[in-house]
Chains A and B, each alone.
Chain A
Amino acid sequence: MNKTFLILRHEFLHMIKRKGFIAMTIIVPLVALLAIGIAHFVSGIAGPTGEITTIGYVDEVGEFQQYTSQGNIMLVRFDTPEDATKALVSNDITEYFIIPSNYASTGALQHYTLEKQLTTPPASTTAIKKFISSNLLAGRVSPSTIELIEAPLNLVTTRLTATGAVATEQGRLGNFIIPGIFSSLLCLSIIFSSTRLLQGLGEEKENRLIEILLSSVSPWQLLTGKILGMGAAGLAQVVVWVISAPFLLSLASSTFGGFIGTIQLPANFLVLTTVYFILGYLLFAVLSASIGAISSNSQEGQQLIGIFTLPLFIPIWFMSPLMEFPNNPIWIVLTILPITSPVEVVMRLGISDVPAWELVASIAALGLSITGLLLLTTRVFRAYLLMYGKRPGIREIIRSLRSE
């Protein structure tokens, strides 16, 4: 049997049997399920309970008598602030506010409560706002107009293609959820797999098992077998997450409804996610292997690889501006730059169209980087894998890269 395949199989099986790997594979979907559960629970306790809440108010203007019933919130008028305070401390009302006589000029209300609050609960704010605006508009416009003014803005957007036809992918917020989650998972998986590769190499180097391996296989076979084995395990992990995604999505949809129900995955999303996982993993795996070869121990190697994996997170840090300004040229740079492209592309797929030329350029840049780095790593690998306890200097590394 081919020795590269034997190493690949060994690394794959060794990796998928590891407790950390199994935990991460299972925990990620479970955490998502838990998040849904928590959201469901929180929405259950935060949502309307059917009980009537009573809020007091003192009207110093004298024009706020109508619209005292706002859904589950009942507004009760008090003559003086003292009366309202008495009612509050005896728990007849949950809170009260004063509409001062100069309200028309200041627009400010004084709000009193027994609770320690960072902000006023949205339900109270909404009820008070509606109560005030309804009373202000009463008699000036029709009740149906009042209703329209108070309703939240309902902007139904339809995306058209260049020809003016309705686009099949509408790019709503829901569409960003899965790419957003996947780009984070991609980061985790790439870092987990390549760190594990680095750790494995470090261990083999530290306990000198590497000498036995290199007496049986070439550095090239060892390098490729390890990279492909770990990559296959990482890919298997991503596949588990991909398979569990529709289930989680339907569960989330039935729990939240709303925009989650409208999620559409672009047709090319899964294919491109897989392609970018493979390329991204290969890039970082080769980088890990060369760092593993030159590091004096696995701890030092992990510190070094940390520096190189940081740029992978750049697209996640800039998620908010990406959503706001999806056509900024900076995203093109991040799409083509090999060290950021795996995550950037996956994120952009959920927000806007990524032009074909950018994808081609990005995949080509990744392919070239992997090939070049692999050629350099093989040299470094052979020269420094058997160097224990000390790290070669930059000059030494450059010399070994130049030598045959």
Chain B
Amino acid sequence: MQAIKANRIAKSYADKVVVNDLSFSVARGEIFGLIGPNGAGKTTTIRMLMDIIKPDSGNVTVLGEQLSEASKNKLGYLPEERGLYRKLTTLESIVYLASLKGMDGHSAEERADELLNQTGMLLHKRKRIEELSRGMGQIIQFIVTIIHNPELIILDEPFAGLDPVNTELLKRMIADLRKRGKAIILSTHRMDEVEELCDRILMIDHGRSVLYGNLAEIKSKHRSKSVLLEIEGKLEEMPGVTERRTHKGYVKLVLDESTTPQQILERLVSRGIIINRFEIATPPLNEIFLKVVGRNHE
């Protein structure tokens, strides 16, 4: 069963179409990247998934059911802008927000202790939120997001403002949640994070889907005809190569339409060049993003 399925959802404000006929699904046990430029409609999409705002048309099902108040307890949401009750203590904040997700006070306290311990924040549980650093507040908010063991977790820029240690900690926790069969939607501007963590992605622009599917397949589809080389000795002119870019430690060869990477490899071997690395170049997601979004904005 899909954890979440959005079927042709659309939303407009006044005369502006913010989300336009968007369909996608997220399976259990996968991390799904929701990406797009600023103002693409990501936040509005997330709010419709969370039932914070209603779509003008289309529908969303969560774990096979129409969205309802009860299904909200199965969702965990970390919004991009962080905020907690500044005057409450860490524990009070966690327990109150967990109670709104259907947890009783005792279970919430127990689970809060576990998660605070896991994140090294146990010492701060009696401190007021206003006494914590921004990064600490973010960890607390992540705890609030997952404390009720939700089936679907939506994380909007979860690593923004975190130091490398806490970033790694969160990444490990997110990977662990995936292992436990949770469906995770990750919305971020950081393409390296998407490449590192996500199984599938949906790229939206102007409220429309512009890329959707398995990340590896998307990258393969957008693969340019080029190879990366690390060789010993000098590389002379080679037929079939339209462009040669030398980077620190490696050379990138862009091939013409009729030449295959296999042919290039054969030519290198035939010239007796010692090859330390030969790799068919796949474009980074960032490049695909710029290409696709740039095309839409032309």
B185 at the interface (CB under 8 A from A): no
Choose, from B82-90, B239-247, B282-290, the stretch at the interface.
B82-90
Q: How far is the CA of A213 from the CA of B99 in the complex (A)?
A: 11
Contact A6–B99 (Cβ < 8 Å): yes
Among the stretches A154-162, A203-211, A325-333, the one at the interface with B is A203-211
A111 at interface by CB-CB < 8 Å:
no
Instruction: List chain A residues, Cβ under 8 A from B69.
Output: 3, 217-218, 221
**Counting CB contacts under 8 A, is A86 at the interface?**
no
Residues 45-56 of chain B, each 1 if its beta carbon lies under 8 Å from chain A, else 0: 001001111100
The smallest beta-carbon distance between A359 and chain B, in angstroms, is 39
* Contact partners of A211 in chain B: CB under 8 A: 47, 52, 77, 79, 81
CA distance A218 to B67 in the complex (A): 12
Q: Are A216's CB and B82's CB within 8 A?
A: no
- Name the residue on A nearest B75 (C-beta): A215
Alpha-carbon gap, A204 to B81, bound state (A): 11
CB distance from B153 to the nearest CB of A (A): 11
B144 at interface by CB-CB < 8 Å: yes
214-260 of chain A: CB within 8 A of chain B = 214-218, 221
- Is A382 part of the binding interface, using a Cβ–Cβ cutoff of 8 Å? yes
**How far is the CB of B107 from the nearest CB of chain A, in Å?**
13
Is B72 engaged at the interface, CB distance under 8 Å to the other chain? yes
Asked if B42 is at the interface of the complex by the 8 Å CB criterion, the answer is no
Complex interface: chain A residues within 8 A of B123 (CB):
none
Complex Cα spacing A207 to B134, Å = 13
Q: Which residue of A lies closest to B101 (CB)?
A: A216
Which of B51, B75, B82, B99 gathers the greatest number of chain A CB atoms within 10 Å?
B99
Q: Does A212 contact B (CB under 8 A)?
A: yes
Q: How far is the CA of A50 from the CA of B90 in the complex (A)?
A: 66
Name B88's closest neighbour in chain A (CB-CB): A14
Q: Is the CB of B53 within 8 A of A212?
A: no
* B160 CB–A CB distance under 8 Å: no
Q: Report yes or no: B83 in contact with A212, Cβ–Cβ below 8 A.
A: yes
Give the complex CA separation of A19 and B52 in angstroms: 33
Assembled-state Cα–Cα distance A14/B86 (Å): 12
Given A207-B83, A217-B72, A396-B14, decide whether A212 and B96 contact each other with a Cβ distance below 8 A.
no
| Contact assessment for A215 and B72 in the assembled complex, using a CB-CB cutoff below 8 Å | yes
CB pair B72–A216 under 8 Å, yes or no, is yes
B97: interface (CB < 8 Å)? yes
Chain B contact surface mostly: loop
Q: Does chain A have a CB within 8 A of B100? A: yes
Q: Which residues of A contact B53 (CB under 8 A)?
A: 382, 386
Beta-carbon contact of A207 and B96 below 8 Å? no
The residue from B50, B87, B100 contacting A3, defined by CB atoms under 8 A apart: B100
Minimum CB–CB distance from B215 to chain A (whole Å) comes to 26
CB distance from A109 to the nearest CB of B (A): 67
Residues of B within 8 A of A386 (CB): 47, 52-53
* Chain B residue, CB-CB nearest to A221: B69
A208 with B100: CB separation less than 8 A? no
- The count of chain A contact residues (Cβ–Cβ below 8 Å) is 24
Bound complex: CA A399 to CA B13 (Å): 11
Q: Is the CB–CB distance between A208 and B82 below 8 Å?
A: yes
Q: Shortest CB–CB separation between residue B284 and chain A, in angstroms? A: 31
Interface residues of A in 163-209 (CB under 8 A from B): 204, 206-209
- Given the known inter-chain contacts A215-B50, A216-B100, please indicate yes or no for A209 contacting B14, CB distance below 8 A: no
A386–chain B nearest beta-carbon distance, Å = 7
Tell me the complex Cα distance, A14–B85, Å. 10
Within the complex, what minimum Cβ distance (angstroms) separates A274 from chain B? 29
Q: Given the complex of chains A and B, what is the CA–CA distance between A275 and B62 in angstroms?
A: 44
B97's closest neighbor in chain A, by CB? A212
Report whether A209 and B84 are in contact in the complex, using a CB–CB cutoff of 8 Å: yes
Chain B residues near A6 (CB, 8 Å)?
Answer: 96, 99-100
Query: How long is the Cα–Cα vector from A59 to B268 in the complex, in angstroms?
Result: 138
List of A residues within 8 angstroms of B75 by Cβ: 215
Chain B residues lying within 8 Å of A217, measured Cβ to Cβ, are 69, 72, 100
- Chain B residue numbers with a CB within 8 Å of A218 are 69
Check B97–A216 contact: CB distance below 8 A. Answer: yes
A213 to B72, CA, bound (A): 11
Task: Tell me whether A1 is interfacial, beta carbon within 8 Å.
Answer: yes
Question: A10 to B77, Cβ gap below 8 A?
Answer: no
- Which A residues are in CB contact (< 8 Å) with B141? 212
User: Does the CB pair B99–A1 fall under 8 Å?
Assistant: yes
Mark out the residues of chain B between 63 and 77 whose CB falls within 8 Å of any chain A CB in the assembled complex.
Answer: 69, 72-73, 75, 77
Please name all residues of chain A whose beta carbon is closer than 8 Å to the beta carbon of B80 when the two chains form the complex: 208
Binding site for A on B (CB under 8 A): 14, 47, 50-54, 69, 72-73, 75, 77, 79-88, 96-97, 99-101, 104, 141, 144
What residues of chain A have their CB less than 8 Å away from a CB belonging to chain B?
Answer: 1, 3, 6-7, 10, 14, 204, 206-209, 211-218, 221, 382, 386, 396, 399
10 smallest CB-CB distances across A and B, nearest first, come from A207-B83, A208-B81, A216-B100, A209-B83, A215-B77, A211-B79, A208-B83, A214-B52, A215-B50, A6-B99
**Pairs across A and B, CB under 8 Å, 20 listed:** A1-B104, A3-B69, A7-B100, A14-B85, A207-B83, A207-B84, A209-B85, A211-B47, A211-B81, A212-B141, A213-B100, A214-B52, A215-B50, A215-B72, A215-B77, A215-B79, A217-B72, A386-B47, A386-B53, A399-B14
